[in-house]
Amino acid sequence: MTAPAGRSLLPTDRAPWHPVARLGAFAVAVVVASLAAEAIAYPVVAFALEHMGVRPLLGPWLQVAGALGGSLLAIRVAEPARVLPSERIVGAAPAWRLAALRDGGLAGGVPMLLALAALLAIGAYRMEPAPFTDAWGATWRALGVLVPAAAAEELLARGYAFTVLAEWRGPAIATGATALAFAALHAANPGASAAALANVALAGVLLALVRWRTGSLAAAVAAHLAWNLLLVVVAHAPVSGLAFATPGWRLVPQGPSWLTGGAWGPEGSLVVTAALAAACWAVARRRPDPGHSFARHGAPVMP
């Protein structure tokens, strides 16, 4: 008697490991890839860039290398040989279309823009002048952190692990599980509170819905990045408790923490909770692409 697809202990040409084993392999592979990137890739890249006179912040890119390398390693070990890694991590070919990136950017940017406008309108925040020094430098430094952070977090939460969970237990379970994991990733940030982490989990639901409905991890990265860029580059506010340079102006809270988010920043506000809930409802109404790799419950893609 042969084991059903997705249930075998060892991968074959026709069946991957059991989903729990694949998720475990992914977690171990991310740790291994992260350690390898830090021990091998970082010294080489840092040495080369230093001799070129370039000194970028490499730490966030190490996280991307660990998440992507771990995904590829897990697929190589635990999936059938004929599985395409790009489809397991990012989605099918339409995942790279400009329309997916546009939809993702709107899904992340519009709710944050509306929430910030509401917080300013009701007086929960005010804009305070700040020294206008090195605006371009501050912007580039922020991008150097926010771009790889969005990519790494989406690879970890909405990439390969989301695909495996969605095929195994359905996209709804995958959405809830990865949203909780997403909140856990931020639990050690400065100013973290139960309310702030609840909003992070709700943001994780929104990002997972973008991944689910568009079939594109790139769209989820675009949503994540648009959200953070509006907070840091436009509003000059903290993002997930982390403060960046504020050349020219900054947002200053003017009320209780449940309204302003306190040290966490606007993301901890109940106004943002409402904006996220509305955005989740709007994205959930979108019909998912039937060609998604996890649209057929429990059936891994075999090209």
> Averaged over 245-271, what is the pLDDT?
92
- The alpha carbons of the chain give a radius of gyration, in whole angstroms, of 20
Question: Domain for residue 57, yes or no?
Answer: yes
Among residues 290, 108, 87, which one has the least CA distance to residue 204? 108
Q: Of 29, 56, 83, which marks where a domain is finished?
A: 83
Backbone angles phi, psi at 121, to 5 degrees: -65, -35
Q: Of 45, 64, 83, which marks where a domain is finished?
A: 83
Residues 180, 229: one domain? yes
Q: Of 41, 58, 83, which marks where a domain is finished?
A: 83
Number of structural domains found in the chain? 2
pTM of the model as a whole: 0.88
> Averaged over 30-41, what is the pLDDT?
90
Question: Domain for residue 122, yes or no?
Answer: yes
Residue-range definition of the domain harbouring residue 189: 92-284
Residues 126, 68: one domain? no
Mean pLDDT of the chain: 86
Question: Domain for residue 291, yes or no?
Answer: no
Dist. CA 217–CA 17, nearest whole Å: 23
Question: Domain for residue 36, yes or no?
Answer: yes
Dist. CA 269–CA 68, nearest whole Å: 32
* pLDDT tens, residue by residue, 70-107: 999 999 999 887 778 888 888 876 777 888 899 999 99
CA angle at 277 for the pair 274 and 281, rounded to the nearest 5°: 140
* pLDDT tens, residue by residue, 189-234: 998 999 999 999 999 999 999 999 988 999 999 999 999 999 999 9
Does 299 have pLDDT greater than 70? no
- pLDDT value, residue 112: 97
* Residue with the larger pLDDT of the pair 7 and 224: 224
Q: Answer for the pair 62, 42: CB distance below 8 angstroms, yes or no.
A: yes
Distant-in-sequence, close-in-space partners of 196: CB < 8 Å, separation ≥ 6: 240, 241, 261, 262, 264, 267, 268
